[in-house]
Structure 1
Amino acid sequence: MFKVLLIEDDFSLFSEIETRLTQWSLEVEGIKDFGSVLTEFTAYQPDLVIIDIQLPKYDGFHWCRLIRSHSNVPILFLSSRDHPTDMVMSMQLGGDDFIQKPFHFDVLIAKIQAILRRVYNYNSSITEVKSWCGAVVKNEKNLVTNQHGTIELTKNEMFILKCLINKKNTIVTREELIKNLWNDERFVSDNTLTVNVNRLRKKLDDIQLGRFIETKVGQGYIAVEEVE
């Protein structure tokens, strides 16, 4: 579980961010004394720092300088001010990313996920797939080929196919698919997942494989391995 130190004095926003992040198995800690941020940072040893620029006593830039003098932990800045200089200053002081308030939480999640993947090589650990039902799956090129032809998939469609094939003949729940897509920096809603699966199945029909992706109503999807 990654540890996030959230340095935000707006209690309402802090609570909302904490709730969203803990839903994705991130541990979140706040600041008790805004005059002792460095002390609390050192005690907590977070994997990521999210810091507001406007804070009591000292601003986020001040604390970023101090944190950077002790650690290379990734830092994501938050700001309610519409000043390009804030972003420039954030980057010059060693910040890894910047997001302006108000923001959509999907954007915040995307930035956090990108930082964790970049710094800690965090990914969904989906196993590579080379073949399925007599077809060759070329992940890097998003191609599926068999004796009936070749189809090109979108990145989301390929990722879904790989998730299903890796657990062939086993039901993969919709929740599991959505979470795996999130872990790989692809953000989908429940409706978007349905659209992607339907498009995937339609493309697979072109090489006579669509019937091997089955829908299990109320549960999820299953990739059936062709039996010779």
Structure 2
Amino acid sequence: MSTNEWLGFNTKSAVNHMFKLMLIEDDETLFKEIEERLTQWSYQVFGIEDFGHVFEEFIKIKPDLVIIDIQLPKFDGFHWCRMIRNHSNVPIVFLSSRDHPTDMVMSMQLGADDFIQKPFHFDVLIAKVQAILRRVYNYNTERIELKTWRGATVDYETNTVTYENETIELTKNELFILKQLIEHKNKIVSREQLIRSLWDDQRFISDNTLTVNVNRLRKKLDELRLGQFIETKVGQGYIATDEGTI
């Protein structure tokens, strides 16, 4: 199995694939309710029996998307998110009954794709799962392209940016934001436009989440000395500047 197949970004289609979802939730009643709703949408749902070996189960299941609670027995959801992110770019959605803003910030900094506050409406969960799966795996129905920007090569298939023989890896959200900005280079892309493009419905996502994702993207681009070229236009949005030499 190739690396891209393991990461789930090369061979699956949102149209004809029965997606495998890993639900890491220790509340048995809530787990069964979520499982029932997701199963109605033809998703395969896998749970966890031993919360001390979540990562081992992740390796075994090879899910297409992970839904994980923050408060878990033995280790919290942040711990398992770090371990998963060290090996895979699979989409991750956090669930949390805590309402502290730092939980959302932490989840985004760790590379999560979304954050859902408990209690939540099941239609919201389904809509978010569908939007993420469509956004991530629909790349497979398109021609994979290499984009160039300020001398760097952005590879949509491997989620990487290469500049002067140095390469960084981006999460899907970071790549999508960069893709939107460089395809409108030297033009302002509004925050509202980015939110709609990323999450389909801006009612389901906070403005702060976008800020965290953009800041994380800039920090990674700083490793290639490119972060300064993603500029914030206060009250308007963001712009990827380009000298027009590429």
Which one-letter code corresponds to 1:16 in the other structure? Answer: E
Partners of 1:108 and 1:83 lie apart in 2 by 20
**Alignment partner of 2:95: what SS?**
strand
Which one-letter code corresponds to 2:109 in the other structure? Answer: Q
1:76 CA drift (Å) = 0.2
Partner of 1:84: 101
Partner of 2:130: 113
Q: CA RMSD in A?
A: 1.6
Which one-letter code corresponds to 2:83 in the other structure? Answer: L
Partners of 1:68 and 1:3 lie apart in 2 by 18
**Alignment partner of 1:50: what SS?**
strand
Which residue, out of 74, 87, 102, partners 1:57? 74
Which residue, out of 91, 99, 110, partners 2:116? 99
Question: Relative contact order (alpha carbons < 8 A, sep ≥ 6): 1 or 2 greater?
Answer: 2
Which residue, out of 7, 26, 32, partners 1:15? 32
Partners of 2:138 and 2:32 lie apart in 1 by 28
Partners of 1:90 and 1:114 lie apart in 2 by 18
Q: Which structure 1 residue ranges, 5 or more long, are not aligned? A: 123-184, 187-228
Which one-letter code corresponds to 1:4 in the other structure? Answer: L
1:121 CA drift (Å) = 1.1
**TM-score, normalized by length of structure 2?**
0.49
- 1:65-108 CA-to-partner distances (Å, cap 9, x unmatched) read 00000110000000000111000000000000000000000000
Which one-letter code corresponds to 2:136 in the other structure? Answer: V
Partner of 1:160: none
Which one-letter code corresponds to 1:5 in the other structure? Answer: M
Partners of 2:28 and 2:58 lie apart in 1 by 19
- 1:148-181 CA-to-partner distances (Å, cap 9, x unmatched) read xxxxxxxxxxxxxxxxxxxxxxxxxxxxxxxxxx
How many residue pairs get aligned? The number is 125
Partner of 2:85: 68
**Alignment partner of 1:121: what SS?**
helix
Partners of 2:59 and 2:50 lie apart in 1 by 13
Q: Which structure 2 residue ranges, 5 or more long, are not aligned? A: 1-17, 140-199, 202-246
